[in-house]
Amino acid sequence: MNIRLAEAKDISRLIKMRWDFTIEHDESKKNASFTDFEKECQSFLESALNSGRWFIWVAEENGKVVSHIYIELIQKVPRPGRITYPFAYMTNVYTVPEFRNRGIGSNMLSVINKWIKENKYEFVIVWPSDESINYYKKNGYVHCTEPMEYFPS
């Protein structure tokens, strides 16, 4: 298993995995236009990979990407009396079904957690699904107070 940052060569695979991930959790989306989605996602991924703000981690087996975790760095406003480091927003955590329960996700989190510590990012925030709470807990993540939300009408 090779865990690394995604590259441009991974974009088509990442698009397909994002599609599959969405359909797996919401079958009503399977009637959406894959072509439209592919175009939008391609643009997003090209920009993200070149942004210096997004870090897309992948696990590959035999040259095929089988899992990914997306991290976006969020800059904080500086505060007097301390050095300000960004925090990391984790999203789009997905492993292809036939590769689940093999420790791939935990291995990825181990690499990412080390990277977070080495880069002095302040913390990582993730909104887990109910099914993934134990996955995060066993990898050192703890529940925090729910954030507040505002939805403009």
Rounded CA gap, 55 and 34, in Å? Answer: 24
Residue ranges and CATH numbers for the domains of the chain are 2-137 (3.40.630.30)
DSSP-assigned letter for residue 41: H
* Whole-structure pTM value: 0.91
Both tokens of 1, joined, read 């298993």
Backbone phi, psi, residue 84, to 5° = -100, 125
Query: Mean pLDDT, consecutive 10-residue segments, the chain of 153 residues?
Result: 96 96 86 92 97 97 96 94 92 95 95 95 90 90 81 84
**pLDDT for 29:** 83
Residues 6+ apart with CB under 8 A from 44: none
**pLDDT for 59:** 98
Residues 6+ apart with CB under 8 A from 128: 135, 136, 141
